[in-house]
Structure 1
Amino acid sequence: MDVKTGFFYLFSVVLLFAAFRVVTARNPVHAVLYLMLAFSQASAVWFLLNAEFLAIVLVLVYLGAVMVLFLFVVMMLDINIDTMRKGFWKNFPLAATLGAIVALEMAAVLLSGFRLSQAPAMLAGAVPVDNGKALGILLYTEYLMPIQIAASILLVAMIAAIALTLRERKDSKAIDPSIQVKVRAADRMQLVKMGVTQPAPAPAPVAPVEESK
């Protein structure tokens, strides 16, 4: 067994363990951390399979943005774990059924859709390029128009989200910087002269307690 095969089995074992802990961890924060570990191991496996573009996208998009944001959301939420556990066995038959269906579909695809065969031979005189460069050339030559349309839609969505967020609302606590700069200290605080000592207040009279006969 060579070094590449050894790393493949190492990353695969860690990936399976992390994926198992994602669904079995009781703490949601721990589940998110295990999911981040699973994504990192999947990225390493893709690097071994010479899929550099997919590996880098997985790290940048999921580990660098989605999972970090999800981790902060889970940490800020006050999740009652005991309440979540009450409906576990109630929903377990449905979850087990769906899991079995997904496992059968994956087994059918893996057993029938992938066959061991030799890689296609490279054409004579062709310059070898990595998959990232080949994908970039394909996207910006043959699929240039769909890429431009998708970029325009995302730009319009981003501008719309900013416009909806920055609109004037009655419950907004935004402060005008020009008004804030013109504020003087005398308008914000007023000094009141008081004596150094103040006489102690007179004690309140205590009503006599009648003895019971």
Structure 2
Amino acid sequence: MMFTDVVFYVLAAILLLSGLRVITTRNPVHAALFLVLAFFTAAGIWLLLQAEFLAIALILVYVGAVMVLFLFVVMMLDINIDKLREGFWEYLPMAGTIGLLMIVEMGMVLAEKNLRPSQAVTLPPNYSNTAELGKVLYTDYLLPFELASVVLLVAMIAAIVLTLRDRKDSKSMNPADQVKVKRNDRLRIISMPAEVEPEHVAPEEEK
């Protein structure tokens, strides 16, 4: 067994354990931290596969942005854990069935790969997996990439529309009214006579 195999099995065990702790721990902050550990471990596995760009993107996007947002939301909101866990066991049969199907699917995929003989691929010295990923993403998978961006845009607009509430005490501006405004509507010149300060009269000297 090679050293990379040992590292892979260690990272895989940590990933499974941290993923299990995400759904079993009672503290939401601890669950978020275990999810951060899972992301870091998955990034390590990507590095073993020589996919440096995906590993860095996973750390920067999910750990550096998404999980920090999750932690801020969890720590700022007053979450009632007992109320959230009410009816948890009612969804266990469905969750177990879905998890079993996922395990079967992954087993079928891995079994199919094991049936084919693995061949070592010799890469050129100046090979860049980031450049190759960009070429494949923007050539062969350009349409799915654009569709995914449209779906994300629709989800963002839907989130804004669903959370938009009209408040009577809020102040807002109409851009159309701001564009149509004229100088006479905002500026008024008034002609006023100049004010002259009265001369200062010195008090009489005391006798």
TM-score by length of 2: 0.64
Structure 1 stretch displaced more, 94-103 or 110-119: 110-119
Instruction: Extract unaligned runs of 5+ from structure 2.
Output: 173-207
Question: Quick check: 1:132 aligned with 2:130?
Answer: yes
1:27–1:146: structure 2 CA closer, same or farther, 3 Å change rule?
same
- The amino acid across from 1:136 in the alignment is G
CA distance in 2, matches of 1:143, 1:55: 22
Q: Report 1:97-176 matches (<5 A).
A: 97-115=97-115, 117-119=117-119, 121-122=121-122, 128-139=126-137, 142=139, 170-172=168-170
SS at the partner of 2:85? Answer: helix
Q: CA RMSD in A?
A: 3.9
1:105–1:121: structure 2 CA closer, same or farther, 3 Å change rule?
closer
Residues 49-78 of structure 1, C-alpha deviations (whole Å, 9 max, x = no match): 111121111111111111111121122222
Task: Give % identity.
Answer: 48
Contact 2:43–2:54 under 8 Å retained in 1: yes
CA distance in 1, matches of 2:109, 2:141: 32
TM-score by length of 1: 0.62
User: Which position in structure 2 is the counterpart of 1:34?
Assistant: 34
1:137–1:76: structure 2 CA closer, same or farther, 3 Å change rule?
same
Instruction: Extract unaligned runs of 5+ from structure 1.
Output: 175-213
1:117–1:87: structure 2 CA closer, same or farther, 3 Å change rule?
same
User: Which position in structure 2 is the counterpart of 1:43?
Assistant: 43
User: Which position in structure 2 is the counterpart of 1:179?
Assistant: none
Residues 123-145 of structure 1, C-alpha deviations (whole Å, 9 max, x = no match): 8xx555031132234456x4697
CA distance in 1, matches of 2:94, 2:145: 43
1:144–1:94: structure 2 CA closer, same or farther, 3 Å change rule?
closer
Q: Give 1:115 deviation, angstroms.
A: 3.8
Q: Give 1:9 deviation, angstroms.
A: 2.1
1:136–1:102: structure 2 CA closer, same or farther, 3 Å change rule?
closer
Counting matched residue pairs gives 171
CA distance in 2, matches of 1:24, 1:144: 37
SS at the partner of 1:86? Answer: coil
User: Which position in structure 1 is the counterpart of 2:93?
Assistant: 93
